Amino acid sequence: MFLARVVGVVWSTVKWQELEGVKLLLVRPYTLDALAGRGEPTSDAVVAADCYGAGPGEDVVVAYGHAARVSLEPDLPEDARPSIPVDAAVVAIVDRFSVNPDPEESARSSHGD
């Protein structure tokens, strides 16, 4: 999973039937620098399906793979295999998060620029 900010919405008319009514969001994963208040999320954007109603500007947790498909099928019988053709989905809308990078790491060179 990763923490990301919703930056846009994707519309599509031609898609698999299972995706009817599923909202597609454009999200941008946070890096440590962005989390620590040193700038905006800068990674490449990812398209994630959403059934929780997240909107642009909100922070979300996005899961990949099986967890993403389970998230989109809330009424899935126990132990059943999800069948929706999706590999990334919002699994939680973030209320708040805490970040406490180790102080001794602040001197590291890999984030100097």
Query: Least distance (Å) from another protein to the CB of residue 7?
Result: 17
Query: Least distance (Å) from another protein to the CB of residue 63?
Result: 5
Which residues contact another protein by CB under 8 A?
A: 1-3, 29-33, 35, 52-53, 61, 63-68, 70-71, 74, 76, 78-79, 91-102, 105, 108, 110-111
As given in the structure block, the two tokens for residue 31 are: 């890096």
* Residue 22 near residue 43, CB atoms below 8 Å: no
Query: Least distance (Å) from another protein to the CB of residue 101?
Result: 5
Nearer to another protein, 14 or 57 (CB): 57
How would you classify the pairing of strands 59-64 and 23-29?
unpaired
List the one residue out of 1, 93, 19, 97 whose CA is nearest residue 53. 93
Query: Least distance (Å) from another protein to the CB of residue 13?
Result: 28
Nearer to another protein, 12 or 44 (CB): 44
| CA atoms in the 13 A half-sphere facing the CB of 49 | 23
Place of tokens 């454009």: 26
Nearer to another protein, 24 or 71 (CB): 71
Nearer to another protein, 53 or 57 (CB): 53
| Rounded Cα gap, residues 18 and 31, in angstroms | 32
